[in-house]
Amino acid sequence: MTTRRIMATSGGFTAGDRYSVARPGESIRRMLELTGKDRPRLTFVMTASGDDRSYLTRSYSAFTGWNVDVGHLELFPMPNRDPRAVLLESDAIWVGGGSVANLLAVWRLHEVDAAMREAWEAGIVLGGVSAGSLCWHTGGTTDSFGPDQRAVTNGLALLPFANGVHYDSEEQRRPLLHELVGNGTLGTAYATDDYVGLLYEGTEPVEVISDRPTQPASSKPGPMAYRVEHQGGTVIETPLPPGPL
């Protein structure tokens, strides 16, 4: 039986040792491991940034020396390859950050939304950061429309939950997510702090993954994920530390 998997993150890559070169974090390592392939085919989809070339170049560079075949799908100014073909030839797909509103509009125009669902149902591991996390959900909070956070409610809904990203680093994110869950604009949501990923199998979250090494015990909790739900007229936020759920 095919297992459908999505890695929804506020991270994925971490800073390298020099020259601002990124390196893959544990969430991306896990994605590649879950493909079950000795040399997986990883496809970058950077639609949310308008296929920004410097972003794409940094992402390619992060895999120097890795046993991975890396490719990408561009949609600006036009598809560089047949979207469905390139996505279904992948073992894992990583979606970069940027504007989730623009991403969803462009994907639907080029039928990438349908191809992503087909890839997911075929067992290709999907994942991404920020906009690349929000897109798989029903909706969430976004700065796609300007400096003030707003709701987006037209996600692909592969996952039947809303999503919050950059939960610990962007001050508008948490209160707005609580408000939207509380007033029914969004349903139950899962959120991630920076450098944290949430692995879904099927449509259920099964593990919280940190891209940063475990720090020595301290009085301050580290980055984690959260479940945000509306119960009995109250919004309840449940912390989900790294580890199996």
Summarize pLDDT for 18-52 with one digit per residue, the tens: 556 689 999 999 999 999 999 999 999 999 999 99
Q: What is the pLDDT of residue 106?
A: 98
In angstroms, what CA-CA distances link 179 with 98, 99, 174? 23, 21, 9
Q: What is the pLDDT of residue 240?
A: 98
Q: Which residues are catalytic?
A: 130, 166
Q: What is the pLDDT of residue 1?
A: 78
Please report, rounded to a whole number, the percentage of residues in the chain having pLDDT higher than 70.
Answer: 94
Residue ranges in the chain modelled with pLDDT below 70: 16-21, 213-220
In angstroms, what CA-CA distances link 59 with 13, 26, 51, 168, 231? 9, 15, 12, 24, 41
Q: What is the pLDDT of residue 17?
A: 61
Summarize pLDDT for 144-163 with one digit per residue, the tens: 999 999 999 999 999 999 99
How many whole angstroms separate alpha carbon 63 and alpha carbon 43? 12
Q: What is the pLDDT of residue 90?
A: 98
How many whole angstroms separate alpha carbon 159 and alpha carbon 39? 28
What is the pTM for the complete model shown? 0.95
